[in-house]
Each structure stands twice: as C-alpha cells, then as structure tokens.
Structure 1
Amino acid sequence: MRHARDGAVTVTDTANQILLLRGRSEPPEAANPDVTWGPRALDGVSVPTRNGQRLQIGLPGPADDRAVTAVRPTLRVFPGVDTDTDLIAQTTTTGVRLITVLHGPDAPTEFRFALGLGEGLSLDAAPSGGYDVVHDRYGATVGRFHRPWACDALYRPITAAYDLDGSVLVMTVGHREADALYPVIADPFYAR
C-alpha cells in the first residue's frame, strides 16, 4: 500500500539529489527556531530579517489548500500546489528554501509568492536578479530573495526569473520552451 508520505519522500529525494550536485554553494537544510511555518500552503511561512522584523511569505496553493506533509521538522512537502506541481519547503540556518518541483509540461510557468513586509520594509531589485528586503529609513539590506535557478532532470539549466507585482513576488520558469526532461526543479531561496 502506497501512502502520501511515500510520494513526498520520492519528490524530496529527487530535489535533494539535484541540490547535492549543485555543490557547496547551496545552504544545507537545518533547524532554525526563528522560522515559523503555517499548517497550509496559503498560511505560508514567517521568517526573520536581520533587524529583528518579520517577513511573511505566502506559498502558492490549491483552492482546497490541503494540509502539509511534514517529513521532518525542517522539511515540509506541499503536494499538488498547482497542476503537476509540488512544493518542498526547507528551513535553513538563515531562512527558507522553496523548492518548486514541476512534473510535466502542463505545470504552470508562473508561481506567485505573496509577501507581507514588516513596517518600513520594501523590496528593491538586485543586479543579480534577486530582490533585497530593504529597511526604508536606513537603506540597509535586511534580507534577500536570491536569484532563482532551475534545472531539469538532466541538470540542464532552465531559465528562471523574478518579477514584482505589487507585494507579490512572481517566479517565472521557462520549462516549456527549454524542451525539458521532467521533473524540473526551481529554487527560490530567502536568507536574512
């Protein structure tokens, strides 16, 4: 008999293999008591900034917004967040990684992460393709959404980019144009 947890572990294993092959530049999964996860994708995750404020990140989720599968305290799997799409959320020592797993060409190309910024915080586009969380009064960067990356099952790079729509960070993944072999992994990563 196959359980939902078995599918979550398989998806997680695939994503972890790709992360390992990317090398030491990827921060490892680790416990972080400052990161607070909601019970559903739409509840998202609350993460700290360097100046002690909080940032709320809403995760893409289905209309019925099923509960999360907690594989371990630092790893959550949100199956079926969209057509042919799962989301794996890892806690790191400095923030969160939101690994988006696309299982086929019917998966969307756009993923929306609603942001709740603390008072006096805003987002500025960074030259790298990421977004800095900036303290408006002092101009200091207090957090960062690093430039997203994506690759297919053969580890070939797939284009991934952010855009900002009001207070929503939009990640676009060009998997349909790339003749990708699935699954495709896209990796938004926030760190304080």
Structure 2
Amino acid sequence: MRHARDEVTTAVEAATRVLSISGRSEPPEFENPDVSWGELASEGVWAPTRDGQRVHIGVAGAAAEDRLASVIRPSLRVFLGLETETDVIGQTTTAGVRFITVLHGPGAPEEFRFPLRLGEGLSLDPTPSGGYDVVHDRYGATVGRFYSPWGYDSLYRAIPAEYHLEGTTIVMTVRHRDADALYPVLADPHYAR
C-alpha cells in the first residue's frame, strides 16, 4: 500500500512541478457534478456537452482493463502504470476533464489512445489548431471541444504533440524520444463543453 501511495505522490509531484513553471493559464481543478468517472482506467469518464448530452472518454493502455484509480479527491485521480513508464492523472475541471499524461522516461510509448463514445447525432470535426470539435450534426453547433494537445518536458521545453483519429479513438502522439527531453514529460488531452 505504501509503495502505491509513493508512486501516486511521484506522479502528482511530477505534474505539479512542470505545470507550476508553465507560466500559462491552466484549467482549474473543480468538483464538477456533471462529470462521472469510472473506477477503472478503461471505464474512463462521462463528461457533459453544451446540448445536455454526454461524451464518454476512455483511457486505453496495456494495463487499462484492470487498473483502478487512486482517488486523491473527487476531482483528481491517478492511474498508475497504464503503459511502460507512464501514469495518467484524470482531473475534473469547471467545463470538462483533462488527462495529464506523465511520461517518466524514454521507455514510455509515443502514442496514447482515448476511445470515444459520442451522444446521438454528435460527430467530431478537426479544428485548424489540431484539436477536435464535438458537433451537433443537425444544427452544426459545437457542443464540446478536444483542445489541441501539448507536450512539455521538465524544463518546460515544447515537445511535439498531435492528434489523429482511428475510427472513434483519438490517438495522441507525443514525440518525446527525438526531442532530447528532460523527464518527466507531460502531455495534456483536454476536453471541455
């Protein structure tokens, strides 16, 4: 038990250290009653859209099927060891969720998968910035957004990150191995309604 608690602390401290020197506005953590997390990483999270529907965002990984969340508080949870040298911190925000992906070393993969289930009549449209809008097909209105991903190392140097779709799965690629990165590296898929 103590070992798992130490690993959770390490993941959260790594993320906090990098985010604290970012100098940019981060979405605030917030206990949002419209967001519902599953217990396992593979169960992911249900987040609201502006039209009253919900988007399901899963977290895939080698260990996602049986990886329980370590719940720090209702708005913050850690999924340890989802991939080699990789933890994912799930954070509830005022308008949605973010998945702070913590890569602890060069053995971490470069691709991360987030399977989606969209509400009825919703689809994804790519944005010029590299994110995806969740669009209501009938009205053409944007009811949610996956903001373009970013990656930074522990010196807050930019690490190339981008999305692409594989069916209904958003795949985030973080090119940390070719970037001469100082670990940990953080990447941030972020969804908001």
* TM-score, normalised via structure 1 length: 0.96
Supply the distance in 2 between the matched residues of 1:50 and 1:21 (Cα, whole angstroms): 32
Q: 1:129: which partner in 2?
A: 130
Aligned length: 192
Supply the distance in 2 between the matched residues of 1:71 and 1:170 (Cα, whole angstroms): 27
Deviation for aligned residue 1:3: 3.1
What whole-Å deviation, never above 9, does each CA across 1:132-180 have from its counterpart, x for those lacking one? 0000000000000000111111111100000011100000000001011
Q: 1:65: which partner in 2?
A: 66
In the alignment, is the contact (CA less than 8 A) between 1:5 and 1:71 conserved in 2?
A: no
Supply the distance in 2 between the matched residues of 1:136 and 1:117 (Cα, whole angstroms): 12
User: Gaps spanning 5+ residues in structure 1: where?
Assistant: none
Letter in 1 for 2:55: L
Supply the distance in 2 between the matched residues of 1:138 and 1:45 (Cα, whole angstroms): 26
Deviation for aligned residue 1:48: 0.3
* Secondary structure in 2 matching 1:157: coil
In the alignment, is the contact (CA less than 8 A) between 1:96 and 1:189 conserved in 2?
A: yes
Alignment of 1:104-123 (within 5 A): 104-123=105-124
Supply the distance in 1 between the matched residues of 2:159 and 2:16 (Cα, whole angstroms): 18
Query: Share of identical aligned residues, percent?
Result: 66
Question: What's the RMSD between the two structures over aligned residues?
Answer: 1.3
Q: 2:80: which partner in 1?
A: 79
Q: 1:53: which partner in 2?
A: 53
What whole-Å deviation, never above 9, does each CA across 1:1-42 have from its counterpart, x for those lacking one? 943122212211221232232235211111100000000000
Q: 1:30: which partner in 2?
A: 30
User: Gaps spanning 5+ residues in structure 2: where?
Assistant: none
Deviates more, 1:17-26 or 1:136-145: 17-26
In the alignment, is the contact (CA less than 8 A) between 1:164 and 1:170 conserved in 2?
A: yes
* Secondary structure in 1 matching 2:119: coil
Moved over 3 A (4+): none
In the alignment, is the contact (CA less than 8 A) between 2:121 and 2:136 conserved in 1?
A: yes
Q: 2:97: which partner in 1?
A: 96
Q: 2:175: which partner in 1?
A: 174
Deviation for aligned residue 1:63: 5.7
Supply the distance in 2 between the matched residues of 1:149 and 1:177 (Cα, whole angstroms): 16
What whole-Å deviation, never above 9, does each CA across 1:66-104 have from its counterpart, x for those lacking one? 211001111000000011100001000000010000111
In the alignment, is the contact (CA less than 8 A) between 1:103 and 1:184 conserved in 2?
A: yes
Tell me: CA distance 1:23–1:118, structure 2 relative to 1, closer, same or farther (3 Å).
same
Supply the distance in 2 between the matched residues of 1:44 and 1:53 (Cα, whole angstroms): 16
* TM-score, normalised via structure 2 length: 0.95
1:18 to 2:12 alignment = no
Letter in 2 for 1:16: T
What whole-Å deviation, never above 9, does each CA across 1:107-145 have from its counterpart, x for those lacking one? 100001000001100000000111000000000000000
